[in-house]
């Protein structure tokens, strides 16, 4: 098989397949005879923090919340490490996740493994794979994040390199700030990217998850989410369907009466009934003059 055929085969399977391919993978086996997968599970004790990381302060409460999420959902976004020597690795990105995993007591963590002087290979693989249409929005966001963090690109530089608007890049990166259950729901196609973008603005993590659960259960639209965030009341599709069925559940005699009254008043008449038997008769009118006409007809003895 030619190198081009191998490359096309890998590109058809998404990000992990591309980086696991021998043509593009960036990790060498310890014996130097082959290629290992791009995502590996490593003992956390074999990983050391990056001494050059400019971020040294990590909020304790935020780490505790992340550790609780990791206990339930695991690590959604793998860490990125550099191989230093035999069974020794140094963290490149993901220190907050690394510290939370330590706090949780994990023994192993998923990692992208890189070797020295591989930036050009990584950049080429990620940029080329981003062009694929079979990646979900989280995979695309992770690719953007890796290019920015590990290849030292700005969003403007990334925009030019991959021919995507900066707003599109920003929107994908914002998805990575969503709680793990929502990211998992987006990857599983329970919600669309439009839903996820709206949920980003829904408030704190608890509010976001509660609204996400409601979106899935009630099949809410993106506009519904935006309306809820504005404080408006929203009727779910299930409730609307129930109301429609309830309104239509009238007897043959009641339907005949409705039609007869509509003919007498020369307007549309509706009967709305709830399952417990109460309801209302709705008489429609088009103007003040039409209302007065109907009132006179109803007052006629």
Residues annotated as part of the active site: 95
Angle between helices 119-130 and 155-162 (to 10 degrees): 60
Which among 169, 221, 233, 177 has a CA at the least distance from the CA of 195? Answer: 221
Q: What angle do CA 96, 100, 104 make, to 5 degrees?
A: 170
* Residue 23 phi, psi dihedral angles, 5° rounding: -75, -30
Paired sense of beta strands 108-114 and 39-43, if any: antiparallel
CA 248, CA 76: separation in Å to the nearest integer?
A: 47
CA 2, CA 255: separation in Å to the nearest integer?
A: 74
CA 42, CA 75: separation in Å to the nearest integer?
A: 13
């Amino acid at each position: 098989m030619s190198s081009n055929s191998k490359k096309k085969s890998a590109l058809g399977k998404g990000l992990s397949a591309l980086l696991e391919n021998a043509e593009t993978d960036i990790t060498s086996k310890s014996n130097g005879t082959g290629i290992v997968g791009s995502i590996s599970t490593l003992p956390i004790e074999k990983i050391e923090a990056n001494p050059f990381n400019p971020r040294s302060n990590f909020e304790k409460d935020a780490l505790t919340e992340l550790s609780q999420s990791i206990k339930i959902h695991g690590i959604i976004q793998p860490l990125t490490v550099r191989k230093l020597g035999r069974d020794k690795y140094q963290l490149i990105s993901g220190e907050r996740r690394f510290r939370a995993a330590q706090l949780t007591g994990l023994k192993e963590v998923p990692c992208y493994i890189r070797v020295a002087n591989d930036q050009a290979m990584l950049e080429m693989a990620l940029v080329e794979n981003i062009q694929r249409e079979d990646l979900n929005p989280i995979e695309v966001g992770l690719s953007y994040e890796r290019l920015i963090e590990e290849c030292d690109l700005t969003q403007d530089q990334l925009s030019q390199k991959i021919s995507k608007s900066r707003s599109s890049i920003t929107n994908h990166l914002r998805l990575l700030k969503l709680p793990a259950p929502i990211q998992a729901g987006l990857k599983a196609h329970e919600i669309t990217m439009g839903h996820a973008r709206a949920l980003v603005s829904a408030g704190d993590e608890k509010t976001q998850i509660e609204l996400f659960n409601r979106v899935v259960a009630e099949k809410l639209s993106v506009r519904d989410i935006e309306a809820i965030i504005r404080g408006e009341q929203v009727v779910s599709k299930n409730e609307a369907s129930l109301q429609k069925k309830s309104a239509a559940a009238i007897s043959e005699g009641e339907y005949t009466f409705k039609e007869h009254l509509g003919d007498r008043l020369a307007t549309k008449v509706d009967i709305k009934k709830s399952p417990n038997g109460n309801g209302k008769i709705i008489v429609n009118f088009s103007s003040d003059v039409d209302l007065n006409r109907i009132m006179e007809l109803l007052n006629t003895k």
